[in-house]
Amino acid sequence: MIEKNLEELKKVYQETKMPDYLIYNGWADLKFKLPNQQNNFFRNLVTKGLVFASICLLVSAGLIKSAQAAKPGDLLFPIKDFTQNVKAKITGNYQEIIQDRAQDVIDLSSKSQDKLNEAIRVYKQTVKDSQDNTKDSEKSQELKNTIEHQNEEIQKIENQDRNNSGHTNEDQQNVVQGVKTSTEQKNLLDNQKHKDQEGD
């Protein structure tokens, strides 16, 4: 019964009278109101671009933030290394990155041997790069001295290391001690410099 009534109602529904306006002027009037699709297309493209750029920015910021805790040999370490290098190149201050690498060596001295070796390699590479980059800079004389001092320490310990057969924990401890000493010396020099400036 209901099915039959639904069929009847469907007929009434489908026989709905169309107003003349819609038949004769509906499209003509609407056509004038339609905005230019090209503009919409570009607006849409710009919106999508902005959304994509914002997502990329957020992801990059998150990655950089997470990478700050990475140590040599970690997956995110290259990101940390890259951002610190960029920062050092822009500001011309290489002390921070060298100190950070030295700190990595100290932190990893009690961890796995592979990671410590990697930390030492990265440290030496950073020192070398910093020396190359500050070769012609007048301002960075102090930094050069620090780097050279730290480099000498490493070189000395490495030579001792080569004379012995293979790497031992003792060798690594020497390297770590060398880095520690040079970092402490640098910190002492910094403190002395600050005191002198305050005295002046």
Show the tokens assigned to 23.
């038949």
Q: Is 21 in the site for other proteins (CB under 8 A)?
A: yes
How many whole angstroms separate alpha carbon 154 and alpha carbon 160? 10
The residue from 37, 91, 159, 165 that contacts other proteins (CB under 8 A) is 37
How many whole angstroms separate alpha carbon 98 and alpha carbon 110? 20
Q: Which is nearer to other proteins, 43 or 194 (CB)?
A: 43
Cβ atoms of 98 and 140 within 8 Å: the answer is no
Q: Which is nearer to other proteins, 38 or 197 (CB)?
A: 38
Stretch that binds other proteins, among 17-25, 56-64, 138-146, 189-197 (CB under 8 A): 17-25
Cβ atoms of 119 and 104 within 8 Å: the answer is yes
* CB of residue 29 to other proteins, shortest distance in Å: 7
Q: Is 75 in the site for other proteins (CB under 8 A)?
A: no
Cβ atoms of 151 and 134 within 8 Å: the answer is no
* CB of residue 118 to other proteins, shortest distance in Å: 48
Q: Is 27 in the site for other proteins (CB under 8 A)?
A: yes
The residue from 34, 75, 110, 166 that contacts other proteins (CB under 8 A) is 34
Total residues binding other proteins (CB under 8 A): 30
The length of the chain, given as a count of residues: 200
* CB of residue 57 to other proteins, shortest distance in Å: 23
Q: Is 16 in the site for other proteins (CB under 8 A)?
A: yes
Show the tokens assigned to 63.
């990655």
Q: Is 19 in the site for other proteins (CB under 8 A)?
A: yes
HEC assignment per residue over 6-74: HHHHHHHHHCCCCCHHHHHHHHHHHHHHCCCHHHHHHHHHHHHHHHHHHHHHHHHHHHHHHHCCCCCCC
Question: Which of positions 151-190 make contact with other proteins (CB under 8 A)?
Answer: none
Q: Which is nearer to other proteins, 38 or 159 (CB)?
A: 38
